[in-house]
Amino acid sequence: TLSGRVAVVTGSTSGIGLGIANAFAAAGAEVVINGLGDPEAIEQTRSRLAEDHGVAVTYDGANLIDPVGAAMLVENTIATFGRIDILVNNAGIQHVSPIEDFPVEKWDAILALNLSAAFHTTRTAFASMKAAGWGRIINVASAHGLVASPFKSAYVAAKHGVVGLTKTVALEGARHGVTCNAICPGYVWTPLVENQIEDTAKARGISRQEVIENVLLAAQPSRKFATVEELGALAVFLSSNAGQSITGIALPVDGGWVAQ
Ligand code: NAD
């Protein structure tokens, strides 16, 4: 479905981004992966994706907290492949803390990565997509782009911002074959979720197991974590030609969380 397409997936050395990069490569796209981590492990991931699916996969280690890094990721992709067809803004971080103790530098970092980086990659990619008359921008927002939970002020604010950015970009791309949509996962079992269990336990004064049962899974009527494979399949569909009329939406993938 995606052969001949060039896709950039931010934050794809782990978790949801890796699931999406894998699904894109399986669908025949050439993929630029991005993210932080151990260089050897990243190179293994890159070469496995390329070999498993017989497509070109490159790695760009741009730090997207830096606006210049975010723009360069897109510019380098266009320089290498001559185009950018699909942009997935997925890189994100979390911090859990009551607002009165919320570290200011965490607020700044979360807004920079979870919201502003999507602006910088999108503004840099947009002219190229418009000129081609075809483009797909997918923002991995969150159920927290639609509803809130306590102790996640920066994350919830940034993700609501991403949903607003998504709608605006959709309107600007509508006449040019460029769609922009937000995917809003509920809880997906990834390192990002694993790492917040401890702080959530502390903030709420409960145990780790109680966090999993009574906070995470309690939010989802399905009582199941969503999977990175499900999110990969959805990103492939939105990126296909069948997705051309779907734009400006914020689609929950959350086992019923925001329906409540
Ligand atoms: P993860 O921690 O597994 O992966 C995050 C990725 O972002 C990694 O590849 C990491 O290296 C990269 N990254 C971190 N800082 C970066 C930086 N400064 N520059 C470039 N890359 C950076 O997390 P995940 O759960 O896969 O989350 C991916 C996205 O999905 C995030 O935007 C997150 O908010 C969103 N999300 C996750 C869940 C969930 O339950 N896991 C739910 C809803 C939304």
What is the pLDDT tens value at each position of the chain, 260 positions in all?
A: 999 999 999 999 999 999 999 999 999 999 999 999 999 999 999 999 999 999 999 999 999 999 999 999 999 999 999 999 999 999 999 999 999 999 999 999 999 999 999 999 999 999 999 999 999 999 999 999 999 999 999 999 999 999 999 999 999 999 999 999 999 999 999 988 988 899 999 999 999 999 999 989 999 999 999 999 999 999 999 999 999 999 999 999 999 999 99
pTM: 0.97
Query: Which of 20, 38, 90 is the pocket-test mutation for ligand 1 (most atoms within 8 Å of CB)?
Result: 90
Q: How many helices (H) and strands (E) does the chain have?
A: 9, 7
Residue whose CA is at the smallest distance from ligand 1 atom 34: 92
Choose among 250, 225, 229: nearest CA to 142. Answer: 250
Instruction: Mark whether 59 is an active-site residue.
Output: no
Q: Are 238 and 223 in contact (CB under 8 A)?
A: no
Q: Are 224 and 210 in contact (CB under 8 A)?
A: no
Choose among 8, 9, 29: nearest CA to 19. Answer: 9
Span from the CA of 26 to the centroid of ligand 1 (angstroms)? 21
Q: Are 48 and 21 in contact (CB under 8 A)?
A: no
CATH number of 6-188+226-259: 3.40.50.720
Using CA atoms, how far apart are residues 98 and 109, in angstroms rounded to an integer?
Answer: 17
